[in-house]
């Protein structure tokens, strides 16, 4: 979506909701007479910073969730490498490289077949072939296998240092955005937390929180869980997030949030699912009623 398309979509949504800030959500300073809407951007990308600044100029608050590994290492995060590769390279070339990789590494082909079934269910806003590739890379491979495959494809298409500079939000931009309480955590490595050990998941979340707190000199209270659903999330992840000091956690499970807020398992809607998106699930004139009807089940604490 272009920035103007984003603004047009938010104008539609704003007919039914009051836009609120991340600080409003964290402190439960929300209107009681209408729906509240927090605009969120996951991944800490430059394009999201520009969108945040544009929306701020129009009086619409938003929040950016930053995976912190690139700040520490200067290296691109694996999931972002994969997104860049999918955008830059022909899908037939990527599939050929995957087939060769499976053969060379003695990986069971069934893993890719399973990804073709599970991928579209997780990555609902991607075409089926792209969703299958994403699922295979992110969930079917071990971490070393995934890193080897994605890095080989990424290095074929990009110079990593240039890509990092061009695509990630800078430390200075993070500090500027944090001054209004609009930056928070998205994990350190962007690994699916529920597939890590509890200790590794806790350390990943803590590292993200501490790095951002050191950089911004502000307390970081919210985490947007990487991937935020399916195999990437489990009830124990919420418990570990609370142990890390987070008071608010954002999933990608579809739905609105009721009752006492914030919680560590809050739902969200993808922008593509809302009026003005690429695959809207709702009639703009009946948004409030339909939002409540299309919630997905979500385990609580």
| Tens-digit pLDDT string for the chain (301 aa) | 777 788 889 998 898 889 999 999 999 999 888 889 999 999 999 999 999 999 999 999 999 999 999 999 999 999 999 999 999 999 999 999 999 998 998 887 677 888 888 999 888 888 999 999 999 988 888 889 999 999 999 999 999 999 999 999 999 999 999 999 999 999 999 999 999 999 999 999 999 999 999 999 999 999 999 999 988 999 999 999 999 999 999 999 988 898 888 999 999 999 988 888 888 888 777 776 776 666 666 554 4
The partner residues of 12 in beta bridges, in order of sequence, read none
Residues in CB range of 13: below 8 A, 6 or more apart:
37, 274, 275, 276, 287
For residue 140, give the DSSP letter. Answer: I
For the record, the structure tokens of 103 come out as 């053969």
Closest to 272 measured CA to CA, from 6, 19, 74, 3: 6
Per the CB < 8 A criterion, the answer to whether 198 and 239 are in contact is no
For residue 285, give the DSSP letter. Answer: G
Closest to 195 measured CA to CA, from 249, 243, 142, 145: 142
Domain boundaries, the chain: 3-14+22-73+170-287, 78-164
Q: How far is CA 128 from the centre of its chain?
A: 19
Closest to 190 measured CA to CA, from 8, 25, 39, 44: 44
The partner residues of 223 in beta bridges, in order of sequence, read 185, 249
The partner residues of 18 in beta bridges, in order of sequence, read 36
For the record, the structure tokens of 112 come out as 């890719």
Per the CB < 8 A criterion, the answer to whether 71 and 171 are in contact is yes
Phi, psi of 52 (to 5 degrees): -60, -45
Q: 């990608």: which residue's tokens?
A: 252
For domain 3-14+22-73+170-287, give the fold. Answer: TIM Barrel (3.20.20)
How far, CA to CA in Å, does 148 sit from each of 1, 122, 152, 230, 236?
31, 23, 6, 24, 29
């Amino acid at each position: 979506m272009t920035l103007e398309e984003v603004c047009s979509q938010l104008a539609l949504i704003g007919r039914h909701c009051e836009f609120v800030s991340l600080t409003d959500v964290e402190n439960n300073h929300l209107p009681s007479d209408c729906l509240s809407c927090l605009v969120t951007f996951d991944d800490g990308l430059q394009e999201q910073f520009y969108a945040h600044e544009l929306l701020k100029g129009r009086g619409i608050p938003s929040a950016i969730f930053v995976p912190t590994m690139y700040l520490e290492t200067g290296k691109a995060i694996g999931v972002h490498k994969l997104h860049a590769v999918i955008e830059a390279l022909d899908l037939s070339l990527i599939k050929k490289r995957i087939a060769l990789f499976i053969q060379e590494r003695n990986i069971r082909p069934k893993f890719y077949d399973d990804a073709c079934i599970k991928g579209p269910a997780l990555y609902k806003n991607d075409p089926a072939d792209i969703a299958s590739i994403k699922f295979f890379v992110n969930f079917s491979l071990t971490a070393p296998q995934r890193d080897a495959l994605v890095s080989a494809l990424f290095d074929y298409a990009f110079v990593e240092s240039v890509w990092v500079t061009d695509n990630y939000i800078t430390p200075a931009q993070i500090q500027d955005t944090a001054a209004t309480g609009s930056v928070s955590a998205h994990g350190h490595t962007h690994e699916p937390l529920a597939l890590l050990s509890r200790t590794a998941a806790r350390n990943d979340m803590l590292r993200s929180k501490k790095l951002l707190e050191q950089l911004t000199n502000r307390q970081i209270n919210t985490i947007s869980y990487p991937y935020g659903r399916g195999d990437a999330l489990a009830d124990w992840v919420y418990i570990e997030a609370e142990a890390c000091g987070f008071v608010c956690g954002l999933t990608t499970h579809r739905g609105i949030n009721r009752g006492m807020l914030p919680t560590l398992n809050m739902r969200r809607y993808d922008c593509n699912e809302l009026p003005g998106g690429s695959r809207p699930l709702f009639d703009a004139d009946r948004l409030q009623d339909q939002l409540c009807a299309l919630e997905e089940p979500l385990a609580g604490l």
